[in-house]
Amino acid sequence: MSESSDTTAEPRVVTTQADFRAATDAARAAGHTVGLVPTMGYLHDGHASLMRAAAAECDFVVATIFVNPLQFAADEDLDSYPTDIAADTALAKAQGVKLLFIPDTDEMYRQPPVTAVTISGTITSGFEGGSRPTHFSGVATVVAKLFSLTGPCRAYFGEKDYQQLIMIRTMVEDLSIPVEVVGCPIVREHDGLAMSSRNSYLTESQRAAAPVVNRALRAGVAAIEAGERSADAVRALMAELVNAEPEANLDYIDVARAHDLEPIDPLSGELRLLAAVKIGIPRLIDNLGTTIPA
């Protein structure tokens, strides 16, 4: 039995950078390929899908659980972010994870942190970057640190955070980091809502309203596939659907070039439709892709 197929053993839990680095170095020294799944915990089926993808392709799967303070603004939910380490450990075990790295903030960063990684340009300035100006520097800093600690590996990220995925791929290329970044499909609830740890904040009425985000994106894709080539028209169609939902407060909804999120009009080539909508406490993000053949 390969290491990646054994789901009977409890994952080893480490809390220090030194122990984590030693474990991944030892796995590679033994001839194993390493798969990394970075998370902030409160795991769900979306995270499980990343772990399963890693286990299918790598010998030694490691996951990290760290609620990274650098990616939260002062008015966001750092102090109330949901946690359940026991449930997270059980889920990780069931997917074949061999090592869990669960550091605290003092272990990850000198206090206060004095080094940050920043990715400039349109990849981070729009969409989430426009609404949360410090967010992507916080994400890039913690991911760069986790990559440094893990060493050469394959790292698995969900496409729900599509802008984050593009940013991390750019960082890895620009800094020549020996990590292969693997994007995995969004895992959804039965009604299309993208799975997220923050969905637990939704009340019953808000949960009923939440699928409007995905419906609007699907309407945009359908319009493009029916021949619409005006970005303004697609944007207006999607926004109208979201704004018709009383529980929804639209942040942005748009269509962009898929590989760098640059605006494009008329629409052509590989595209990504992205949305952020606040419903109650959580700010729900989602995206869909489509391609216009040459």
Active site residues: 47
AA identity, residue 21: R
Query: 265-287 burial string, b = 16+ CB within 10 Å, else e?
Result: eebeeebbbbbbbebbebbbbbb
Q: For residue 10, what are the CA distances in angstroms to 89, 98, 106, 169?
A: 8, 7, 26, 31
Sequence length of the chain is 294
Structure tokens at 170: 């750019």
Using alpha carbons, list the distances in angstroms from residue 6 to 3, 47, 51. 6, 18, 13
**Residues 6+ away with beta carbon under 8 Å from 270:** 257, 258, 259, 289, 291
Residues whose CB is less than 8 angstroms from the CB of residue 159 and which lie 6 or more positions away in sequence, other chains included: 165, 183, 184, 185, 186, 287
Element of type H or E holding 38: strand 34-39
Query: What span, in angstroms and rounded, lies between the C-alpha atoms of 237 and 174?
Result: 37
